[in-house]
Chain A
Amino acid sequence: MNRGYGLSRLWVNSLFLLPALLVFTVFLIYPVANSFYYSFTDWNGIALAPKYIGLENYRELLGDSDVWNSLKNTFIIALLFTLGVNVIALALALCLQGSHWIQKGLRVWFLIPLMISPLAIGYVWSFFYSPIGGILNMLLESVGLSFMTQDWLGNPKLAIYSVIFSSIWQSMALSMIIYVAGLQAIPRDLYEAADIDGAGMLRRFTTVTFPLVAPAFTINMVVTMIFGLKKFDIIFIMTGGGPGGATENLAIHLYNQAFTYNRMGYGSAIAILMFLIIFVLSLFQVKILRNREVEY
């Protein structure tokens, strides 16, 4: 038994932990627990005494076609966002992992979208995508591709992809930085060994780089998946969930139900559903990805 490790040491540790634990509990655990409670009521946001209605909200949301539509959109957005960000970020990281000043400069350059407010990004991209006088359409016309001009945000089939594209543009740098860190941790002598064995670029990537960047891969996949599932602000600004629900994911749907339709109880039930989905998916992802992490 260590000498200085008595009760007083534990007290000190606990005391240091207490403020953070307090903030976490008050601002996260308590509201989440409250949401859980409200999801079993029909609260409308201003009534002083919400009425308990049991599982009625859950029964309703399972049969609500808007919820199923939002669920579908949530998965489309999360999947494409995760894939898009990770592929682009890894590609960029592979090119920019070196220490040349151009590479260092570009790493910072790509980070700029991440530093801009998502609302500003959403607004500017909306202008970019505008059907009349929008820059994207004007660019296409000027290079003779006017047959490709679209109503990028107004066409219900295209809108979701336009929004996903903007949000990938916004967030890819964060994953890129994590990949750069992961890549820089791979010992160079492994690459030398691969060269000696006559491995080409692709072989090098699949047998050395990709397996060893697995920890960074795990983090990025899990984090981008969670962000993708929760996307709200950029969708809200660019389309508000429209046109006609084409870009409405669970977060937007729950916002509308809770604050526009004044159905706080129902909105809370949708929120709990979202929480469960994200929780289960993340656990699942971490389990699978952790298993393939290789020790060298």
Chain B
Amino acid sequence: MRRSKAFAWIAMLLALVLVISACGSGSKNGGNNSSSSSSAGGSNESSASGGAQTKKDVTLRVFVTNVTPQIQELSEKFSERNPGIKVEADTSPVDQYDTLLNTKIASGDAPDVFLVYTGTKTERLVREGHLMDLSDQPWVERIMPGAKSVISIDDKIYALPSSQFVMGILYNKKIFNDLGLNVPQSWDEFLDTAQKIKDAGIIPIGLGLKDAFTGLFIPNMMAASAIYRDNPDFDAQIKAGQQTFAGSAWQQMMADYLDLDKRGLLNPGVLGTGYDQIQQMMASGEIAMMPTLTPTVKGIRAMNPEVELGMFPLPYVKQGETIWLPSNTKSVVAIYSKTKYPEEAKKYVEFLAEPENIKILMENNLSVYTDIESVSDPAVKELEQYIANGTYPFLDAVWPTTVQPALMKGVQSMFAGGSINEILEELDRQYQIGLNAQ
């Protein structure tokens, strides 16, 4: 009895080991040598049949978020124009996109063409060798020089840009007109304007810090004017160890940021209110101003088509000084370096780069191509005039990926009573950790 029991156990374990080793070897090969157990993408079958047969239909796998409806529409158009190339457009919710993309790449199931975020996130992918160099593509020459430098990594282009969007203060024109207020041009004027709005019984500035990312708008806007306008090498200096967040202009910036709350110029219960609620209150006129991105305007107009909106850059400057704004160039897609269909993928991206198609992908944002004009919302257009004065990328595009989450948490801590020094020191610490991990 005992012997047969032991025998059965060993037999079961052997069976298990066999199965596990089969699964294990499939994924370890990096997935490109298609083994039987690796996930079947549309392209796998055609590659296995390879050269001996006549050319089969190619299926390009595309993975995006944010611009999903536009990509799906354009993919259909592309397939019509190019019979023989099918496009499978896959998508995911915005906040899971990064995780899903990383998982797909790590498991060897990378899509052929996928959305990338400008800046350090793309840089990471480039360093690991996952993106194809697209500097020789025909559409590269049409990109505006300012945008081109923002999206270049080591002077090479790895992604197709679609538009740029900007951070600013969205304001309710009716409230400003009723109270006889002008667009403030300096920090003192800004505080003054907000105070007048508060005295009239309306919430001056809306901030939804329960959603931690909203805490980033104001520091980004402040930094553009207070730091980068006069010292564009600030980030290079931090990288080289010559500068730190602690003890820099960030101390004053954060203190002034917190000051808004101390003066009662923000909505009550900032930490407990979410971004959705702030947007609703902006649409209904309960809030006069809110820091946000240009793409948000469309959503607020949808909530209340009657609301009169305008935008101005946060004037974190002394009277008469130039105001800079944060501007981000939005990339649409990049091509996987090890894709099986490089020619088809490049053709697809070239198609997306055509002016009518870029216009569809631009949504409500500002153009980055020399041959395309921005067609945007009147509130967004109000900001366009300031872009010429000077812009700086969104900070998460120039920092290691660990710093922005630390800033988000830090802003919440600050409003909860935490020490500004500790927060800045944590930023420095995370900067170093992120730098070493890259």
Residues of A within 8 A of B (CB): 1, 5-7, 10-11, 13-14, 17-18, 21-22, 25-26, 30, 42, 44-48, 126, 129-133, 151-156, 239-240, 242-246, 256, 259-263
> Would A154 and B210 be within 8 Å (CB), given that A17-B12, A44-B437, A47-B128 are in contact?
yes
Chain A residues within an 8 Å CB radius of B11: 11, 14
Interface residue from B20, B30, B105, B417 paired with A46 (Cβ < 8 Å)? B105
Contact A154 B12 (CB under 8 A): no
Contact A156 B417 (CB under 8 A): yes
Does any Cβ of A come within 8 Å of B372's Cβ? no
Chain A residues within an 8 Å CB radius of B268: 131-132, 151
Interface residue from B16, B102, B105, B410 paired with A22 (Cβ < 8 Å)? B16
Interface residue from B15, B20, B401 paired with A261 (Cβ < 8 Å)? B401
Does any Cβ of A come within 8 Å of B381's Cβ? no
Interface residue from A22, A30, A243, A260 paired with B412 (Cβ < 8 Å)? A243
Interface residue from B5, B23, B274, B413 paired with A245 (Cβ < 8 Å)? B413
Q: Report the minimal beta-carbon distance from B129 to chain A, rounded to whole angstroms.
A: 9
Contact A10 B277 (CB under 8 A): no
Contact A22 B210 (CB under 8 A): no
- CB within 8 Å of A: which B85-139 residues: 98-99, 102, 105-106, 124-125, 128, 130
Contact A46 B4 (CB under 8 A): no
Interface residue from A17, A44, A47, A244 paired with B409 (Cβ < 8 Å)? A244
Does any Cβ of A come within 8 Å of B375's Cβ? no
Chain B residues within an 8 Å CB radius of A129: 272
Does any Cβ of A come within 8 Å of B355's Cβ? no
Does any Cβ of A come within 8 Å of B418's Cβ? yes
> Would A154 and B273 be within 8 Å (CB), given that A131-B268, A245-B409 are in contact?
yes
A sample of 11 more A-B contacts (CB under 8 A), given A1-B1, A46-B125, A48-B106, is A11-B8, A21-B16, A44-B124, A48-B128, A131-B268, A132-B277, A151-B271, A152-B272, A244-B415, A262-B124, A263-B402
Ordered by A's residue number, 20 sampled pairs between the chains whose C-beta atoms are within 8 Å are A5-B1, A7-B4, A25-B20, A47-B128, A126-B210, A130-B269, A130-B272, A132-B267, A132-B273, A154-B270, A154-B271, A156-B271, A239-B210, A242-B210, A243-B416, A244-B409, A244-B415, A261-B401, A262-B102, A262-B437
> Would A243 and B271 be within 8 Å (CB), given that A46-B106, A48-B128, A154-B210 are in contact?
yes
Secondary structure of the B side of the interface? helix
Contact A48 B413 (CB under 8 A): no
Does any Cβ of A come within 8 Å of B19's Cβ? yes
Chain B residues within an 8 Å CB radius of A44: 124, 437
> Would A246 and B416 be within 8 Å (CB), given that A153-B272, A261-B401 are in contact?
yes
Cα-based distance from A42 to B130 in the complex (angstroms): 19
Contact A6 B210 (CB under 8 A): no
Cα-based distance from A117 to B401 in the complex (angstroms): 32
Cα-based distance from A45 to B105 in the complex (angstroms): 9
- Chain B 11-27: CB-based contact to A (< 8 A → 1; otherwise 0): 11001100110010000
Cα-based distance from A48 to B273 in the complex (angstroms): 41
Contact A45 B273 (CB under 8 A): no
Q: Report the minimal beta-carbon distance from B415 to chain A, rounded to whole angstroms.
A: 7
Chain A residues within an 8 Å CB radius of B274: 126, 130
Residue in chain B with minimal CB distance to A45: B102
Contact A46 B271 (CB under 8 A): no
Cα-based distance from A17 to B8 in the complex (angstroms): 12
Cα-based distance from A281 to B402 in the complex (angstroms): 33
Residue in chain A with minimal CB distance to B280: A133
